[in-house]
Amino acid sequence: MSNPSLFVLASFVAASVAQITRLPRVGESLRAHAFSIEAGGKGFNLLVAARRLGASVDGLMAVGTDLHAGLAEKALAEEGLPARILVQYPTQTGAGIGFVTTGGEDCLAVFPGANSFLSEQDVVSAAPRLSAADLVLAQFEIEDGPIVAAFRLARAAGVRTLLNPSPYRPVSEALLRTTSILVVNETELHHMAGDGEVGPIEAVAGGVASRLFACGVEMLLVTLGAAGAVLHRPDEPPLWQPAFPVPVVDTIGAGDAFTAGFATALAEGLAPADALVRGAACGALVVRRFGVLGALPTTADLQSYLSSTAAP
């Protein structure tokens, strides 16, 4: 399938990031080497990454009525994304603050703002657009209500759904039962496992996967940073994907890039093993640069990288 169609339940934050030598201690002020403020948010990153990878992208994304709302509108236009994605509420636009060390460590704080206002009614109003997609994606910088509504509409229309429960909160059974693909990092996996499941990552992932499959989930993808990723499917052996070895500058947004690369590849009809390679390459391309928006790869970037680099 060429030019897949994705619908993203998105989030937007005005993202400010400072690059520093090390993370600050409590009460400490440090001098930054670099600073950026740009359009961001996990959902926005998914929108842009999928669009740059050649997908036809639609979705919903809430902003407020402050100056930062204009940043979102401008960014959508520059990326060739439709203005109808924006839903405006009389409140503040989401905003985030991040610190990134020269060694690639990071910490973040995100104020949700208008992202918390995206509603089930917004989803219902966009139902015809959503039902026409090949894949519907969501993440947890928005509330459960619109995600459940969107996933129910998608599954009723025979459309697969992908959930990245980040920032993590418990995933309701109602949401799991309408989720086709679940993408988590190692920390989120351990949250889902609870205190009762310990041991090697493959054992923890296997235990979580078994419970998810009983709810109807078709795939569990666990991203492991420098250790790569592993994909679990019912009645299939786990698929392991090593990470591409690259110098790490900034890890913020790498998971979003991986998810977008994997999702667009699946929506194109590629095999899961090939989709994992795409995802890993997209993540590698992002961590090599400071900042997220400028680092998200285009199809040409991805093809050039894959043709010049041996798959791990």
Say what the pLDDT of residue 312 is. 74
What confidence tens digit (pLDDT) does each residue in 39-66 have? 999 999 999 999 999 999 999 999 999 9
What confidence tens digit (pLDDT) does each residue in 164-178 have? 999 999 999 999 999
Say what the pLDDT of residue 108 is. 81
Say what the pLDDT of residue 195 is. 65
Say what the pLDDT of residue 103 is. 76
Say what the pLDDT of residue 154 is. 98
Query: Tokens standing for 222?
Result: 């666990």
Q: If you compute the radius of gyration of the chain from its CA atoms, what whole number of angstroms results?
A: 18
**How many domains are there within the chain?**
1
Say what the pLDDT of residue 197 is. 61
- Structural domain including 14 reads 5-25+32-308
What confidence tens digit (pLDDT) does each residue in 71-100 have? 999 999 999 999 999 999 999 999 989 888
Say what the pLDDT of residue 44 is. 97
CA atoms within 13 A on the CB side of 149: 17
List the CATH number of the domain containing 291.
Answer: 3.40.1190.20
Low-confidence ranges of the chain (pLDDT < 70): 1-2, 195-198
Say what the pLDDT of residue 250 is. 80
If residue 49 lies in a helix (H) or strand (E), which one and from where to where? helix 42-52
Number of neighbours of residue 249 by Cβ within 10 angstroms: 18
Number of neighbours of residue 246 by Cβ within 10 angstroms: 16
